[in-house]
Amino acid sequence: MDLNTARMNTLSIILAGGRGSRLKQLTDNRSKPAVPIAGKYKIIDFPLSNCINSGMRRIAVLTQYRSHTLNQHVQRGWNFLRSDFNEFIELWPAQQQTGSDWYRGTADAVFQNLSMIDGLDSEYILILAGDHVYKQDYSLMLKDHIESGADVTVACIEVPLKEADQFGIMHVDENDNIIAFEEKPSNPPTMPGNPDVSLASMGIYIFNTKFLSENLRSDASDDASSHDFGKDLIPFFVGRSKIKAHHFSQSVIANTSYPDTPYWRDVGTLTAYWEANMDLTRLTPELDLYDEDWPIRTTQYQRPAAKFNYNYEERIGTALNSVVSAGCIVSGSTVEQSILFNNVRVNSYSHVNKSVVLPRCDIGRHCRLTKVVIDSDCHIPEGTVIGEDAVADAARFYRNSDGITLVTQEMIEALSK
């Protein structure tokens, strides 16, 4: 089977039902894949764009937790495929199709949709997480999977040994056969010939469809299983099936103008989320969003260009080392090393520094905000100061141990009660 035919016979399944509780109040009203990122996108735009750019045009998005904004985003911005060419992006909500349980784990989420999967008659299944930020050509991973004759291929990335206890870690032989798999081990195995790094699972898998279907049914009947790919199925396959590791560097999108280190981020904590956004304010970010050969798509709305008002000595609308999205107005204020998402207004005499401001926020006059993440639709009262007094910040808002303060409209309204 040639690669083009293989891509047409691959079903991509994006697991997008998780809450992402480590992002605290950012996921109170939305699922983690629906969290805005990088000025104009949502996290799910990255795996969706990777699928489209890789030629994988049969995509199912599995949703569960508070999925309204995610559903709306996908329906409005990702409905351009041709059904007459057997292309689609479909939302598959949790429907308790196999019993009274909602999704009990990542493997169970796929198992509960086996009837729809079987009806699509695919040769291969690509399983993706909907909450990671990266660029990858999945067709190269599919090619590797087919040529190796594997039952399952696991995408992996090198991580420093000191961070390996945060991931599912693989031990491979010289031919990249996975010979051991441990979930968040206290004493992780290292890569052959490199004792300083371990090989971590990215939560990206390619299965032969028949193999996956049989094993999902077997796992579903195992009361001792937590029905999770990383915790249960992948370790079970080791030593029983042909399971291969695919190095992320073999299918990463290269760009000579940007750093050589493959970029992949789990933005599952407030600190990781803030850092990923802050990286985009650097002169040369690690993540290239300007690559016309591998565009990141999203839902597009008609908005005016960003606007900067006033040029008086004490009142200049300025943005320095920042990302300012469409619809923003910086009015007589200073924005420094920050990201303003769509339709944000920063009013006169305010200073926003090292902050992430989500869509439709209005920052009042004479505010000073440093190292803040402001949720969508917040109205920051005039004279508000955040980021200069840790005790005061923690008393009013959510402040983590890395000194990042998260602000929501509910928190602001609570101050006046």
pLDDT in tens, 318-328: 999 999 999 99
Query: What band does 192 get if pLDDT is binned at 50, 70 and 90?
Result: confident
Residue 44 has pLDDT above 60, yes or no: yes
pLDDT at residue 37, rounded to an integer: 98
pLDDT at residue 169, rounded to an integer: 93
pLDDT at residue 260, rounded to an integer: 62
Q: Give residue-wise pLDDT tens across range 359-376.
A: 999 999 999 999 999 999
Q: Any known ligand binding at 103?
A: yes
pLDDT at residue 313, rounded to an integer: 85
For the CA atoms of 390, 394, 399, 404, the dihedral, rounded to the nearest 10 degrees, stands at -30
d(CA 207, CA 93): 22
Residue 94 has pLDDT above 90, yes or no: no
d(CA 145, CA 10): 12
**327 neighbors 376 (Cβ within 8 angstroms):** no
Residue for token pair 């002169």: 283
pLDDT at residue 183, rounded to an integer: 85
Q: Give residue-wise pLDDT tens across range 133-173.
A: 999 999 999 999 999 999 999 999 999 998 898 889 998 98
Average of per-residue pLDDT across 32-39: 96
Share the mean pLDDT of the chain. Answer: 93
Residue 297 has pLDDT above 60, yes or no: yes
Is the pTM higher than 0.75? The answer reads yes
Q: Give residue-wise pLDDT tens across range 219-256.
A: 998 989 999 998 999 999 999 999 999 999 999 876 65
Average of per-residue pLDDT across 123-133: 95
Torsion 167-173-178-182 (CA) sign: negative
pLDDT at residue 386, rounded to an integer: 98
Average of per-residue pLDDT across 196-212: 95
Q: What angle do CA 236, 241, 245 make, to 5 degrees?
A: 85
pLDDT at residue 321, rounded to an integer: 97
**274 neighbors 280 (Cβ within 8 angstroms):** no
Q: Any known ligand binding at 249?
A: no
Exposure class string for 221-236: b at 16+ Cβ within 10 A, else e: eeeebebbbbbbbbbb
Q: Any known ligand binding at 41?
A: no
Q: Any known ligand binding at 301?
A: no
Q: Give residue-wise pLDDT tens across range 15-33.
A: 998 878 899 999 999 999 9
pLDDT at residue 191, rounded to an integer: 83
pLDDT at residue 259, rounded to an integer: 57
pLDDT at residue 96, rounded to an integer: 67
Domains and CATH numbers, the chain: 3-279 (3.90.550.10), 307-415 (2.160.10.10)
Q: Any known ligand binding at 168?
A: yes
Lowest mean pLDDT among 265-269, 270-274, 361-365: 265-269
Burial class of 293 by CB neighbour count within 10 A (0 to 12, 13 to 18, 19+): exposed
pLDDT at residue 242, rounded to an integer: 97
pLDDT at residue 98, rounded to an integer: 61
Query: What band does 258 get if pLDDT is binned at 50, 70 and 90?
Result: low
Instruction: For residue 231, give both structure tokens.
Output: 């915790």
